[in-house]
Structure 1
């Protein structure tokens, strides 16, 4: 990595509505992370979004007065060639596919969610062939690049890359950042003054402790949560945690635990929403229409506050901070998706976990981890096994692996696995070449 002529950063899925946050993060860190060439790349179907977002990106950069050249392209190989860092933030099938991921499970009285359960597996099956194709280009054209992935389901996609390629890849999610920020707010402290001992899987992670000046503050966090200080994200129903749950857990939950700890309540809310305002995907589609209309305003020269309503707030800023930590050999703390490598004794070494990590120029190093509590160990193991099977299904088009993955998942009713899976494959077949070849 040579900064003499500045860095080359490539964003795959550059037409995403999240991209202005990446621009903001790069500008904020320009003196320490000198990106000279920023390539925003997308596919033909997303060209109109790329042009709109790219125009806004150029105006933001110009307004900030930093020397970043913004390139817009549909040529992925051109964008990847000789890149220092590559960010993946794409959605195969766009929001229409997400809406199907939410609606198909609801037909079978199962939770419809884009990153876990049946909907999450559908998204993984569509995404795995694409990420592996992208990785072929990276291996050929930018073998020394760091791939920062926050394409969902982030844990599954990161594990696929680590298992099936030689690429330097780290997965990222905004959920631990939300947990960190809420903890700081509860304690009335600066966000820079604390760090969390987090452990688990992507969207299934617990904060076992919150550390301030070497002292545990988890009891204060638990008290704050019991006092109805909420910890949630835009795409999950916002209701308080149950007092008994928090008291007995004695850990900081993540918002996605509501799917497991309050399944019936969340399912009821989803069914009602789907008949009224629509699924979360339908709501997001309307929000994105609004955002892209906003982005076209030639006088807009900064990231609009309305982007914070999109649901992935902090993703992009966390990505910029991570890249800077690697580039500058900072040796600081981040919450990341990385291979287990004996960190959690009860999981395979090549499974990707979400863990508090030390980051330097060599990448992310998960901190040592005491044995998991029985309160969380079983659920983590089950979802880890689901993810292993989902990856095998996605890579090889293995119907039996997909079937068994859904059968294992606690958010899928076992009696409907076959018709649910058949629906998923039929409705997504245009994006599932691995199943088309095996049919």
Structure 2
């Protein structure tokens, strides 16, 4: 089978390839097309993947290319992880917002909307190419903001596009580990949108073990979420929030911490990844080791503003990216491919079309819910309806996402203004106007969409 990776020269590509190397099922991926517009990074990443494949029999063949059509043609699966505007665009996403006193983060808040406006047209065009050259392929989207991009691509490819994120699965694994349970035997009752969701139950052999965790001060405080949100707030909610809800529940604190740190996540990654690619191009056989070292530093500083660290003095190392056994989102992607190609039925938290699962949202809205995947495709599972707080926040953010998609596809500044003004982390028409103006002035790719 053929897998096409859109953004194959990107820093995260080895995660996916390492998961494929450790997959011994049949049928399996035997060809990986790496597509990227940056030929230098593509060459560097191909060398790293070749090195990682040492010692593995029947490693999937690599086919790097800067030709989108050649990469896509005949693919059985497509993994999408593009970054339109590069890390400089990400830095602008963050700083334009922070300069106006609102959250600068690439997926949550105005930064995510700017990222989406320039990315949706590119990904919709990619969807059209996939429709024409690989009509039977399933697309696993990791391009951020994952929920928005998945919904936009579904307008072309329907249910063959699903969004993946390892944050919910990581949450389930951490809760199970904290309680001393086998994480492969637990099932999560989870509801939300991408980077905006709640674990409401965790079933182990049919028994909800979440109340046990909520009642234990020590175990709850030891968890990452206990540190981020505080034990009392989690107990007040009665659920475990997705870590990205920190930006909603602690918005002012997050903005202040990022501003005071003097360096955003985008600043850190732009510096570290530029250095990595420059050194990796000259590293020869040690390029893979250099990648692993860079991964450890990058992972340790993840969401540092929520965890008491800084980008340069990280709070902790995240096991999901440094331990190949956990595989993170690459493991989710591998699970999807195995379920579809081998009918190895699995239930995962995915971004899929709502189809009536959540009564308060449109049927074609993309939501993040438990989903059964098999050879017949993806099937969101019936779930208890969200409470008023949850559905209210989801509905408001979903409306924002839809205005964002409309702005990206039509070039309408009015739609962009609605998206920014109605976002709960902006909450000001005047600031929204300044955001639209700032992103058009600072990011050429946004200007190309909103001034056409």
Provide TM-score, normalisation by structure 1.
Answer: 0.91
The counterpart of 2:410, out of the listed 388, 396, 410, is: 396
Report if the CA contact (8 A) 1:84-1:142 is conserved: yes
Deviation track 1:252-295 (CA, whole Å, cap 9, x = no partner) reads 1111011011111111111112x2xx101111223324543358
The counterpart of 1:257, out of the listed 245, 248, 266, is: 245
What is the alpha-carbon distance in structure 1 between the residues aligned to residue 59 and residue 264 of structure 2? 41
Partner of 2:83: helix, strand, or coil? coil
Find out whether 1:146 has 2:130 as its counterpart: no
Deviation track 1:112-143 (CA, whole Å, cap 9, x = no partner) reads 01012110000000101100111121111111
Report if the CA contact (8 A) 2:166-2:329 is conserved: yes
* Aligned 1:223-262 pairs, distance under 5 A: 223=215, 227-231=220-224, 239-262=227-250
Shift of 1:429: 3.4
Alignment partner, residue 17 of structure 2? 23
Shift of 1:220: 2.2
Partner of 1:209: helix, strand, or coil? strand
What is the alpha-carbon distance in structure 1 between the residues aligned to residue 30 and residue 131 of structure 2? 22
What is the alpha-carbon distance in structure 2 between the residues aligned to residue 61 and residue 371 of structure 1? 46
User: Tell me, which stretches of 5 or more residues in structure 1 are unaligned?
Assistant: 1-6, 233-237
Distance 1:74-1:375 versus aligned 2 partners, 3 A rule: same
Alignment partner, residue 63 of structure 1? 55
Report if the CA contact (8 A) 2:20-2:60 is conserved: no
Alignment partner, residue 235 of structure 1? none
Shift of 1:241: 1.8
Deviation track 1:365-406 (CA, whole Å, cap 9, x = no partner) reads 111012211231211111111111111111111211111111
Alignment partner, residue 4 of structure 1? none
Deviation track 1:21-65 (CA, whole Å, cap 9, x = no partner) reads 11110011133352121111100xx22111111111122223312
Find out whether 1:133 has 2:130 as its counterpart: no
Distance 1:209-1:63 versus aligned 2 partners, 3 A rule: same
* Range 241-250 or range 427-436, more displaced: 427-436
Find out whether 1:331 has 2:345 as its counterpart: yes
Alignment partner, residue 172 of structure 1? 164
What is the alpha-carbon distance in structure 2 between the residues aligned to residue 429 and residue 167 of structure 1? 32
Provide TM-score, normalisation by structure 2.
Answer: 0.88
Report if the CA contact (8 A) 2:118-2:449 is conserved: no
Report if the CA contact (8 A) 1:198-1:208 is conserved: yes
* Range 72-81 or range 314-323, more displaced: 314-323
Partner of 1:100: helix, strand, or coil? helix
Alignment partner, residue 308 of structure 2? none
What is the alpha-carbon distance in structure 2 between the residues aligned to residue 79 and residue 140 of structure 1? 13
What is the alpha-carbon distance in structure 2 between the residues aligned to residue 94 and residue 381 of structure 1? 30
What is the alpha-carbon distance in structure 2 between the residues aligned to residue 167 and residue 334 of structure 1? 16
> What is the count of residue pairs matched by the alignment?
421
Alignment partner, residue 265 of structure 2? 280
Shift of 1:317: 2.3
What is the alpha-carbon distance in structure 2 between the residues aligned to residue 289 and residue 225 of structure 1? 43
Report if the CA contact (8 A) 1:249-1:375 is conserved: no
Report if the CA contact (8 A) 2:335-2:346 is conserved: no
Partner of 1:11: helix, strand, or coil? strand
What is the alpha-carbon distance in structure 2 between the residues aligned to residue 282 and residue 89 of structure 1? 20
Find out whether 1:298 has 2:285 as its counterpart: yes
What is the alpha-carbon distance in structure 2 between the residues aligned to residue 164 and residue 106 of structure 1? 35
Report if the CA contact (8 A) 2:128-2:156 is conserved: no
Partner of 1:304: helix, strand, or coil? helix
Alignment partner, residue 13 of structure 1? 7
Find out whether 1:307 has 2:299 as its counterpart: no
What is the alpha-carbon distance in structure 2 between the residues aligned to residue 250 and residue 152 of structure 1? 29
Shift of 1:214: 0.4
Report if the CA contact (8 A) 1:124-1:394 is conserved: yes
Alignment partner, residue 219 of structure 1? 211
Find out whether 1:188 has 2:180 as its counterpart: yes
What is the alpha-carbon distance in structure 1 between the residues aligned to residue 338 and residue 216 of structure 2? 33
Deviation track 1:201-226 (CA, whole Å, cap 9, x = no partner) reads 00001111111000001112324577
Report if the CA contact (8 A) 2:35-2:64 is conserved: yes
Shift of 1:300: 5.2
Runs ≥4 residues deviating over 6 A: none
Alignment partner, residue 41 of structure 2? 49
What is the alpha-carbon distance in structure 2 between the residues aligned to residue 251 and residue 60 of structure 1? 40
The counterpart of 1:96, out of the listed 88, 104, 107, is: 88
Shift of 1:301: 5.5
User: Tell me, which stretches of 5 or more residues in structure 2 are unaligned?
Assistant: 303-319, 322-327
Partner of 1:64: helix, strand, or coil? coil
